[in-house]
Chains A and B, each alone.
Chain A
Amino acid sequence: MTRSKRLPVLVAGCALLGGVLAGCGSGGGSSASGTTDTLSVGLIAEPASLDFTTTDGAAIPQAMLGSVYEGLVRLDQQGRIQPHLAERYERSDDGRTYTFHLRRGVRFTNGADFTADDAVFSIDRVKKDWKLKIARQMDVVEKAEKTDDHTVKVTLSRPSNGWLFSMTERIGAMFSRTGVADLANHPVGTGPFELAERRRGERIVLDRNASYWGTKPELSKVTLKYFKDAGAMNNAMLTNSIDVLGTVQAPESLSRFADTNRFRTIEGTSTGEVVLSMNNAREPFKDKRVRQAVRHAIDHKALVDTARSGHGKLIGTMATPTDPWYEDLTGRYPYDPAKAKELLKDAGAEGKSLRLRVPNMPYAVSAAQVVKSQLDQVGLKVEIEPLEFPARWLSEVFTKGDYDMSIIDHAEPRDLWTFADSSYYFHYDNPEYGKLLKEGDAGKPQDETARYREAARLLSDDAAADWLYLMPNLMVADKNLTGLPVNQVGEGFELTGVRWAKK
């Protein structure tokens, strides 16, 4: 009797589970949205906050810059500076004054008009309220003043080309005087999108800004979905729950997206140099010959083939193809283990033990293994030590400088300056280099290109570090999508031009 009472419960339970399983077959097959004006992008590493004025990390400007926030100037796909919220700007002959003529009819998403007061406010605010070191890029500004409601005059204490460039990035973002109360959760900008919803640990949803001043995006809604696990993101792409895989973490996984009836792979350049750093302040890397030996000992082509399935351009210095001063410097240190051994012998550094302390990220660990095996071949004893990123790596390697070698992607655009500061964790110290950068910054824009090119060569010749490869901008997208940015040139993920092909 009892049996007849209990068994149905079990059966019902199983049926319930089965029903849920069976009832879902209809979900597969269509695109993530089902419609042609929404988009869902998969990204790694959710921003902890939406406020890039107080919290560092590439994920915040990636989500916010260009979509929610805009600057007076912006970068185009070739890395050139173009007017944006300023419809034009003039540089004085001495390079110390910039006059920005602001576009009219621009409005913030809180309803306020964008005027010269907001521009002055935003520029002043960097010095006053920003907590990050990049805020120092604004130190060169002596004063920013409003000439009239739509004209702003910025006076620099010395001419600086770098300043104008930095105005295309985070520190150039224009904020509303009445919209900065809760930047961590409620960003207010002038961009083509505005924040609609943020679900912690999961997603950021952006809606098209209905009152946008420029060409309105075709997409009415963009969802940025954040994954902690590359495998989970790949599965989401394969099961159509995202339309774009924003950053392919492991190039070997590309084979899963080989079906050209569904997917398209986009590969362009980024601003991320994967740097094999050598602690210039410590033995044995104090000696330039040892650093040169390391550069000769590494077969970069083989490294990219092994660790990156061939995805990653070789660069040879701290410059990327979208920098005006870029040139291919890979020929300066050809793969030559015999020469490397000779240099090590000259420097008396044969058989030295080295600690290669890398962040525990797949790209760094897989590159480290190749570097180790290649350096072992010229007689160096390399020990790989993966450190938890960001916390431990930042504290041990970056802050304390307790390392011999490390590997990390320096993702910031135009980051030659990192080598000019001898307290930066590379500890590269060459006054000549700093001088070149200063001259380039202060000269006419064409001088900037010439001097920076010279500086990049010097850096390479001095073997201040080794540049393993350029991180590719590698995406997988639904094949019906167009307008995705091929090159990653600045800090923001450009979504404005993305559209679905008419079906």
Chain B
Amino acid sequence: MRLLLRKLASLLTSAVIASFVVFAFLAVLPGDPAEVALGTNATPDAVAALRHEFGTDRPLVTQYLDWAQGLLHGDFGTSYVTHDLIGPRITDRFGVTCWLALGGMLVAVLLALPAGVLAAAWHRKAAGALLSALSQAGIAIPAFLAGILLVYVFAVRAGALPAGGYTPLAEDPGEWARHLVLPCLSLGLVQGAVLTRYVRSAVLTVLHQDFLRTARAKGRRRRAALWRHGLPNAAVPVLTVLGLQLSTLLVGAVVVERVFVVPGLGDLLLQGVADRDLLLVQGVVIVLVVAVLVVNVVTDLLYHLLDPRLRSR
């Protein structure tokens, strides 16, 4: 319980600092929302009037406090460009990005667990070396490149899957799944390759631990000993990496969303930056930051649960 409180306190502090950094960064970003909205049709008067309407002519401190106060009430403000509430738009998009990140995670785990364990178990054999080499190659490929290749093979050549777009789950679950396959694969394959390396080394480490030898001495076969005693122990370091990877996936989704025309948070973020819709950008970034912080806290708590040795500290 004390641990939970401590973690929450550090989460809150980080969030406040992050909100400050986000705001400060956007304040110095060149480009003015009023100028962008009026485009080549701007007159100095109209720009000034629009700045006043947006409130971007006020002192920065006032703007920040105004925004931060709104956030505390769950109010993300109103978009400069579309004049509607930002909160609901972020919630809409966040769901899509979560599906992407979770799907990517699923692909990564399904790929990395068997591949990593086998690579460790066979580390003296050719097959193990091959798996290691493949995972190295996978790490070298950026997700967007994987995306472009996947689209070319499965959508353009084979015509089996859509090249892009998104259908909400509630509308048509089949179409929803079809549209998610390629983006999730391109996110997940790369992360899976990374994860494979960690799983392999974690399993290799436990393979040489005393408790495994003891298990073998008690008469368990090598494979059974690994399943029963080895993997749970290997899970702790892997879980840490998983938590970090989920954060990477959330952020990596930004690029993949663009390649696959998926209307997620990343897409909203890039649009917001282009339009200099500052409140929208601030809102999206803060949501992403909080999501990453929450994932980290949950990971922390999880391995306290998994590993009794940590609890005693």
Binding site for B on A (CB under 8 A): 2-3, 6, 10, 13-14, 17, 20-21, 23-25, 27-29, 46, 48-49, 54-57, 131-134, 184-185, 199-202, 225, 227-229, 231-232, 235-236, 238-239, 241, 388, 390-392, 394-396, 398-399
Q: With a CB–CB cut-off of 8 A, which chain B residues contact A229?
A: 258-259, 261
| B108-147 interface code vs A (CB 8 A; 1 in, 0 out) | 0010011000000000000000000000000000000000
Between-chain CB contacts (< 8 Å), 24 pairs:
A10-B113, A10-B114, A13-B110, A17-B110, A23-B178, A24-B178, A27-B178, A56-B39, A56-B40, A56-B42, A132-B42, A133-B41, A201-B93, A227-B261, A228-B267, A229-B261, A232-B258, A235-B151, A241-B162, A390-B274, A391-B32, A391-B35, A391-B275, A394-B42
Q: With a CB–CB cut-off of 8 A, which chain B residues contact A200?
A: 82, 89, 92, 263
**What's the least CB distance linking B266 to chain A, in Å?**
10
Given A200-B263, A235-B164, 17 further pairs, Cβ under 8 A: A2-B228, A21-B161, A24-B160, A25-B159, A27-B162, A48-B37, A48-B82, A56-B42, A131-B46, A132-B38, A200-B89, A202-B165, A202-B261, A229-B258, A232-B261, A236-B164, A392-B31
| B240-253 interface code vs A (CB 8 A; 1 in, 0 out) | 00000000000000
Q: Complex: how many Å from CA A237 to CA B4? A: 52
Known A-B contacts A229-B259, A235-B156; the reply to A390 vs B36 at CB < 8 A is yes
B68 CB-CB contact with A under 8 Å: no
Decide: B83 and A184 in contact? CB cutoff 8 A. yes
B271 CB-CB contact with A under 8 Å: yes
| B190-222 interface code vs A (CB 8 A; 1 in, 0 out) | 000000000000000000000000000000000
**What's the least CB distance linking A40 to chain B, in Å?**
11
Decide: B83 and A49 in contact? CB cutoff 8 A. yes
B290 CB-CB contact with A under 8 Å: no
**What's the least CB distance linking A85 to chain B, in Å?**
24
Q: With a CB–CB cut-off of 8 A, which chain B residues contact A13?
A: 106, 110
**What's the least CB distance linking B292 to chain A, in Å?**
22
Q: Complex: how many Å from CA A241 to CA B276? A: 31
**What's the least CB distance linking A317 to chain B, in Å?**
19
Binding site for A on B (CB under 8 A): 30-32, 35-43, 46, 49-50, 81-84, 89, 92-93, 106-107, 110, 113-114, 148, 151-152, 154-156, 158-166, 174, 177-178, 181, 223-224, 227-228, 258-261, 263, 267-268, 270-271, 274-277
Decide: A395 and B31 in contact? CB cutoff 8 A. yes
Q: With a CB–CB cut-off of 8 A, which chain B residues contact A133?
A: 38, 41-43, 46
Q: Complex: how many Å from CA A239 to CA B159? A: 7
Known A-B contacts A57-B39, A131-B38; the reply to A232 vs B259 at CB < 8 A is yes
Q: Complex: how many Å from CA A335 to CA B187? A: 50
Known A-B contacts A10-B110, A236-B164; the reply to A394 vs B36 at CB < 8 A is yes
Question: Binding site of B, secondary structure by majority: helix, strand, loop or mixed?
Answer: helix
Q: Complex: how many Å from CA A57 to CA B37? A: 8
Q: With a CB–CB cut-off of 8 A, which chain B residues contact A17?
A: 107, 110, 181
Q: Complex: how many Å from CA A10 to CA B114? A: 9
Q: With a CB–CB cut-off of 8 A, which chain A residues contact B160?
A: 21, 24-25, 27-28
Q: Complex: how many Å from CA A20 to CA B161? A: 9
Q: Complex: how many Å from CA A423 to CA B268? A: 35
Decide: B46 and A21 in contact? CB cutoff 8 A. no
Q: Which residue of B lies closest to A424 (CB)?
A: B40
Decide: A235 and B155 in contact? CB cutoff 8 A. yes
Q: Which residue of B lies closest to A50 (CB)?
A: B82
Q: With a CB–CB cut-off of 8 A, which chain A residues contact B40?
A: 56, 394, 398
Decide: B156 and A29 in contact? CB cutoff 8 A. no
Q: Complex: how many Å from CA A241 to CA B178? A: 14
Interface pairs A-B: 3 shortest CB-CB: A28-B159, A391-B31, A56-B39
Q: Complex: how many Å from CA A201 to CA B269? A: 11
- Option from A29, A199, A231, A396 in Cβ contact (under 8 Å) with B30: A396
Q: Complex: how many Å from CA A202 to CA B152? A: 21
Q: Complex: how many Å from CA A46 to CA B93? A: 16
Decide: B37 and A56 in contact? CB cutoff 8 A. yes
Decide: A228 and B258 in contact? CB cutoff 8 A. yes
Q: Complex: how many Å from CA A24 to CA B175? A: 9
- Option from B163, B267, B270 in Cβ contact (under 8 Å) with A241: B163
Decide: A21 and B276 in contact? CB cutoff 8 A. no
Known A-B contacts A56-B38, A227-B261; the reply to A48 vs B106 at CB < 8 A is no
**What's the least CB distance linking B256 to chain A, in Å?**
11
Q: Which residue of A lies closest to B184 (CB)?
A: A17
**What's the least CB distance linking B98 to chain A, in Å?**
16
Q: With a CB–CB cut-off of 8 A, which chain A residues contact B162?
A: 27, 239, 241
Known A-B contacts A202-B165, A239-B156, A241-B165; the reply to A132 vs B30 at CB < 8 A is no
Known A-B contacts A55-B81, A236-B261; the reply to A391 vs B37 at CB < 8 A is no
Q: With a CB–CB cut-off of 8 A, which chain A residues contact B268?
A: 201
Q: Complex: how many Å from CA A225 to CA B50? A: 30
- Option from A236, A390, A392 in Cβ contact (under 8 Å) with B163: A236
**What's the least CB distance linking A420 to chain B, in Å?**
15
**What's the least CB distance linking A391 to chain B, in Å?**
3
**What's the least CB distance linking B46 to chain A, in Å?**
5
Decide: A56 and B41 in contact? CB cutoff 8 A. yes
**What's the least CB distance linking B22 to chain A, in Å?**
17
**What's the least CB distance linking A268 to chain B, in Å?**
24
Decide: B164 and A232 in contact? CB cutoff 8 A. yes
Q: Complex: how many Å from CA A185 to CA B88? A: 15
Decide: A231 and B31 in contact? CB cutoff 8 A. no
Decide: B156 and A238 in contact? CB cutoff 8 A. yes
- Option from A2, A184, A238, A391 in Cβ contact (under 8 Å) with B274: A391
Decide: B164 and A228 in contact? CB cutoff 8 A. no
Q: Complex: how many Å from CA A399 to CA B39? A: 10
Decide: B159 and A27 in contact? CB cutoff 8 A. yes
Q: Complex: how many Å from CA A49 to CA B80? A: 10
